[in-house]
Every structure is written in C-alpha cells, then in structure tokens.
Amino acid sequence: MNSLYNLGSFKKRVKFLQKSQYWSEKKISSYQLSQLKKIFNHVKKNVPFYNEFFKKKNIRIEKLEDLRKFPIIDKKIIQKDYNQFLVKGVNKKKLIHRTTGGSTATPLTVWSDMNFQIKDKANTIHYMSVFNLNIFKDKSVRLYGDKIPKKLIEKKIYWKKEKNKLIMSCYHINRKTFRTYIKVLKNFKPKYIHTRASAIFPLAKYISEDNLNVNLNIKYIINDGEYLTLGQRTLIENSFNSKLINIYGHTEGALVGYPCNKTKKLHIMPQNGIIEILDKRGKKISKDGKKGEIVATGFNNYIFPLIRYKTGDIGVKSKNYCLCKRNYPMLTEVEGRIQDYIIDKKKNKIPLAPAIFNYNDMSWKGVQEFKILQKKIGIITVLLKLEQKSATEKKKLSKYIKLKIGQLLGKNFNVKTNVVEKLKKSKIGKYRYLDQKLKLNL
Ligand SMILES: [Zn+2]
C-alpha cells in the first residue's frame, strides 16, 4: 500500500483536490455533472442492475437534478445479489474488498480497485492538509482497533512502533493500564491521534475521573468513522486539552466530510460524489437545520458503484456557506445512524447517545464498558461490565445507573440493568453502545 503514495496518479489527485477546493459553485456543479454523466454511461452499459433498469428507457442526464432518474438503493437491495452491482467481467479475487462493521446489522461488502484506493488515500492527505498535518512527516498515534502482537501483550506492551507512528491497542485500556498509556504518549510526543470516539473515550474518561492534568501537547485528535456526541467531544477535548476534528466518511467510501479552521460543521467534498438529504418519503430536504437521511452517490468507484445509496446516517442540513470560502455542501452535524435511536412507550424515536454521554448529569465511574439493548418498545436493558469487585458495590452501582438513565430518559422508558462479565465487540473492533433489535425506519 505504501507504494501507492509514490504513484503519479496519486500525486495528481492530491494536487487536484488542493486546487479544486476553492472552486466557485458554478464550477463545482459543472464538474459534478460531467462526473455524473460519466458514471451514468458506465453503469448503464457495464453494471447488471443499471443495465436492466435503464433498458428500454430513453433516459438522458442533462442536469444535476437528473440524478433523481436513478432509483434509490439500500444495503438490503445490494445484499440480495452483490453481482448485480459489480461491474461485468471482473475477477473478484483481483479486487480489494472491505466489509463494513456493526455488530447488529449484517455487514456490507464493498469491492474496489486501485483507482478507488488512490482517490480514497488522496482524500485523507487532503483533509489532513487543511489542518497543516502531514501523515509522512508528523509523529502520530493510531488508536483505532488494530491488534498488537500477542508476544508484546504478554509483556504488558500494548503498542508497537511503525516509522513515525505509534499504533496502540484500544482493547487494553482500563483503570489499571491507563496511566501507562499516558506515560507512553508523553514520551512519544505525537502531533495528533487518529482514533474513533469509542476507542479514545475510555482514556479520556479515566483522565477526567482522576482529575489529571496530562499536558500531552497533542494538537489534534482526529475522530473518523464513528458518530460523536457533544458530551463525548467535550470530555475528550478537555481531558487531552486538544482540538477534536470530526471526519465524516461512511464506510462505503462515497462521501467524505471535514470541518475547517473556522467551523466544526462538515464540508462534504464535491469532488468525490453528490450528497442528498432526504426525508422519509424520499423528498429532498432543502431547509437549513432540518434533518434527514444521507443518500450518497460516489464518483470514484467504477467497480462497485454506489448511486443514490441510503447510508442510514442522519444528517442535519446547514447553509452552504463557510468563512473558509469552500463552496461545499455543508452539514451542521451527523446525528448518528437510524439504528442508534431507541423507541419509547409512545413509539417516539429518541437519540440515545446524547442521554448516555451526558456527563453533567451522571457519572459512569466504576463502569468499564456498557451496552444498551432494546428488544421491545419502551424497554431498554443496560448491560454493565463493572470495575468493582464486591457484590454489594456492584449492586449499588447498577442501581445508580438504572436510576440516572431512568431520570434522563423520562417516564416513557422502563430501564433495566444487568451486570455481565464480558461484552462483545464487533469484528473490526468497533464498539457499538446500542444493540437495537427493533427494526427502525426514518
Ligand atoms: Zn470552512
């Protein structure tokens, strides 16, 4: 993979992203239209699903709005028959594939080729440059879900060095080890940490609980690939005394969004695809501040193209204007996934994260890990893995959590707690705090 960075096409793409970031709205639109036409001609001919769909229809793409002539697709449609979405005549074995995580939903496999990888990596280089970061030169820590060799773990070394990068295990952070993690961070002196909210959060939590002034001088913490609540952001930023950069990149790779030096809002890169925010009837949301489902059309994957793909992510639309002068589509925030909501007795959808990551009103001290399970409307069960050893202490803490969550969620929920010995992580190490067994729609 490293050789990818030496390719001429990679360097060209990075340059293109640098140059095109300040394009006018008009220029962006005309670029997007040309990309849309290109992918339309490609899928109509070469991808079975679209081949079939556009057959006998005399459809032409003449303006960006013509995107609506494509059907909306979702994970389920793709999973029914992957070959329908894969370009004809490719050898799957020669392709790169990536399976998206999540412990509850069935994972989706996305195939791609080197051309896609080049553009994907160029995006990373680009958004890092927005913050004056350089992945080749700057010292960094990766705390993301990588496995550390068993030999090291046995010696209580939960990290390994790779050039200017320190890769740390997120699986071994606990009350006993966290001070060692901090010591190692202090010695290594990284400029930034690349992580996902659930991986760095326990570390931030311990720092805050013990009121430590860690003084690590880490400029940025980059959260990527995981929804982040305001409560989590505040606690992470305060504990590390660093600025948090939240990157939106859904795992299927069609859209990338980043904040800038002027705002925390997300700028969705128009060079990679088209974002639509749709209501439950599939109608476009155009009012600022309104939320809807993010539907993605990617320009970069010609092997397994995703056009009008329902991501399951809920985005809040913002005015497309920023002081940084990028004329990009903007989102105030990504509020989480549809499956991250819980249903109360009156069948209202309630976002769970703001309640459980509300550190002003409750403390999770003594809780090593937790997971919330919903099987029935109006009832949630909090599974708790606790630090305390005595049964009385466990009982007391479990009662406290039940009371506090009950207060936060209100009387339309029946809250139960259950102390467990172990909690399962999903395959790629992503820790999902909610196991929503009910089927939800927007
Ligand atoms: Zn900006």
For 362, 383, 429, the CA distances from 367, given in Å and listed in that order, are 12, 10, 19
Of 178-187, 317-326, 408-417, the one with minimum mean pLDDT is 408-417
CA of 264 to the centre of ligand 1 (A): 8
Contacts of 418 (CB under 8 A, 6+ apart): 381, 382, 383, 384
Instruction: Compute the distance from residue 196 Cα to the ligand 1 centre, in Å.
Output: 22
- What burial letters (b/e) apply to 243-275, b meaning 16+ CB within 10 Å? bbbbbbbbbbbbbbbbbbeeeebbbbbbbbbbb
Centroid of ligand 1 to alpha carbon of 65 (angstroms): 25
Run of H or E residues at 278: strand 273-278
- The alpha carbon of 262 and the centre of ligand 1 are apart by a number of angstroms equal to 5
| pLDDT at residue number 1 | 52
- d(CA 323, ligand 1 centre) in Å: 6
Q: What percentage of residues in the chain have a pLDDT greater than 90?
A: 65
Question: Which residue ranges make up each domain of the chain?
Answer: 2-131+247-338, 344-436
| In the predicted structure, residue 438 carries a pLDDT above the cut 60 | yes
> Average pLDDT, stretch 107-120?
90
Q: What is the Å distance from ligand 1's center to 248 Cα?
A: 14
Distance (Å) from CA 288 to ligand 1 centroid? 16
Alpha-carbon distance of 204 to 235, in angstroms, equals 7
Whole-number Å distance, alpha carbon 261 to ligand 1 midpoint, is 7
Distance CA 195, CA 141 (A): 8
Q: What is the pLDDT of residues 38-58, one digit of tens each?
A: 999 999 999 999 999 999 888
DSSP codes joined into one string, 225-236: SS---HHHHHHH
Angle at 393 between CA 388 and CA 396, to 5 degrees: 125
Confidence of residue 102 (pLDDT cuts 50, 70, 90): very low
Q: What is the mean pLDDT of residues 372-392?
A: 91
* Cβ partners under 8 Å of residue 389, min gap 6: none
Measured in Å, residue 247 CA sits from the centre of ligand 1 at 13
229 CA from centroid of ligand 1 (Å): 20
Between CA 303 and CA 307 the distance in angstroms is 12
Domain range 2-131+247-338, its CATH number among 3.40.50.12780, 3.40.50.2300, 3.40.50.720, 3.30.479.30: 3.40.50.12780
Q: How sure is the predictor about 428, in pLDDT bands with cuts at 50, 70 and 90?
A: very low
What is the distance in A from the centroid of ligand 1 to the CA of 256? 14
Question: Tens digit of pLDDT for each residue in 150-164?
Answer: 899 999 999 999 999
Identify which of 423, 333, 338, 440 has the alpha carbon closest to the alpha carbon of residue 385: 423
Tokens of 325: 């002068």
Ligand 1 centroid–CA 329 distance in Å is 10
Q: How far away, in angstroms, is 255 Cα from ligand 1 center?
A: 17
In the reported structure, the alpha carbon of residue 273 is separated from the centroid of ligand 1 by a whole-number distance in angstroms of 18
Among 2-6, 139-143, 403-407, name the most confident range: 139-143
CA of 358 to the centre of ligand 1 (A): 28
CATH of 344-436, one of 1.20.1250.20, 3.30.300.30, 3.90.280.10, 3.40.50.720: 3.30.300.30
Instruction: Calculate how far, in angstroms, residue 359's C-alpha sits from the geometric centre of ligand 1.
Output: 29
Percent of the chain, pLDDT > 70?
Answer: 95
User: Residue 189 in contact with residue 242, Cβ under 8 Å?
Assistant: no
Could you check whether 2-131+247-338 and 344-436 share the same CATH topology?
Answer: no
Asked if 341 contacts 357 with a C-beta cutoff of 8 angstroms, the reply is: no
pLDDT (average), residues 178-184: 97
